[in-house]
Structure 1
C-alpha cells in the first residue's frame, strides 16, 4: 500500500539510495527541495522539517512539507507541498512538486502520489491546488489531468520554456 511519510533520520540509507539513483540517471531531481547536501544527514532532515515553520525559512520562501512516497519497503519518490503561493509559485512550481525515481517510473505511481499529496494539501487547508509542469513533460501533464487538473493560462519563462498550469479542487 502506497503512502506518504515525512523525513526521518532512520531513512538515511533509503534517501541516499534514491538520490544516488536519480543522479546516476542524470534526470532532474524533483522536487528540488530533496536535492540538497546530505553529507550531514541529521542537518538534511532538520532542514526539510524546519521548512514547515514560517519562523525558520528564508525570506522569499513559503512554508512547505516534504513527503516520501513509500510502499513500505522502499522510497519510490518525493512530494513537496507549499502551504501557500507567492508570485513566483503562481507561475512556476505551484502548490505541489512531485517526482518518482527513475527505476519506479511508468507504473502509475505518480498519479497515486499526487492524489495522496492532494489529501495532505487538503489537511493543510488548501482548497484549490495549483500544479505546474513543463509543456514537454507529457507524463506529468497526464498525472495532473488524471487527478482532475483544469488547465489555466500557461506561463512562458524568459528562456522560452512554457510552463503549463492546472488547478485542482481539493475541498470536496
Structure 2
C-alpha cells in the first residue's frame, strides 16, 4: 500500500470525498458494507447526524440496537474516502451469533490493495481505546478475503453459526 491512511470521524469536511466514495460503491452494484454506508447521503448533514445518533447508551431508543461508532478510512493526503467501519460497543444475542463488534468495508475500486487489513488494524486500536479486551469478527463462509483479513489481524476461529436462511457465518475472536 503506497498511501498513508487514517481513521476519521464522519464530518462535513469530507462531504465531496464521501459522496464520490458512495457513488462509486453504488455504481459497482456490489453489496455495501458496513450497513451505515447504505444510508442515502443526499442530505449530507442529516446523514452525519444519523451516524452520531446512537453512539452512546443514552441515545439508544430501539432495543434491537447497541451503541455504535462509525469511522471513515481516508488517504491522509488527498482525503479520499477509501472505506468505512462501524464498531459496536457491546453485543446482544444476534450480534454475538452473526454480527460481531466490527463491520467494515472497502470501496470495490480500492480492494486488493491491503486497505482492509489496515482498516481492521486501526479499528482494533479504536475498540481497545473504548475499553474492550476482545472483539468478535464474523464473515460469511466462502468470503476468503475477509477471513484472511481477520486472520492477519490475530483472529482465532471459534465456531460457525448457521443463520435461518442457511447462510453459514464464521466467528473469530481477537484479543486486544
User: TM-score if structure 2 supplies the norm length?
Assistant: 0.93
| Most deviating of 94-103 and 37-46 | 37-46
RMSD of aligned residue pairs (Cα, Å): 1.0
Q: Deviations over 1:28-72 (max 9, x none)?
A: 111011211222211100110122122223222000110000112
Partner of 1:5: 8
1:132-143 → structure 2 map (5 Å cutoff): 132-143=138-149
Partner of 2:30: 27
Deviating runs (4+, > 4 A) in structure 1?
none
Partner of 2:65: 61
1:63-142 → structure 2 map (5 Å cutoff): 63-72=67-76, 73=78, 74-142=80-148
Listed as ranges, the gaps of 5+ residues in structure 2 are none
Alignment equivalent of 1:37, drawn from 40, 47, 52:
40
Listed as ranges, the gaps of 5+ residues in structure 1 are none
Alignment equivalent of 1:17, drawn from 16, 20, 40:
20
Alpha-carbon distance between aligned partners in 2 of 1:29 and 1:10, rounded to the nearest angstrom: 22
Secondary structure, aligned partner of 1:153 = strand
Secondary structure, aligned partner of 1:20 = helix
Tell me the CA shift for residue 166 of structure 1: 0.2
User: TM-score if structure 1 supplies the norm length?
Assistant: 0.95
Tell me the CA shift for residue 13 of structure 1: 1.3
Alpha-carbon distance between aligned partners in 1 of 2:118 and 2:65, rounded to the nearest angstrom: 27
Q: Deviations over 1:67-90 (max 9, x none)?
A: 000112111000111000000101
Secondary structure, aligned partner of 1:21 = helix
Secondary structure, aligned partner of 2:85 = strand
Aligned length: 170
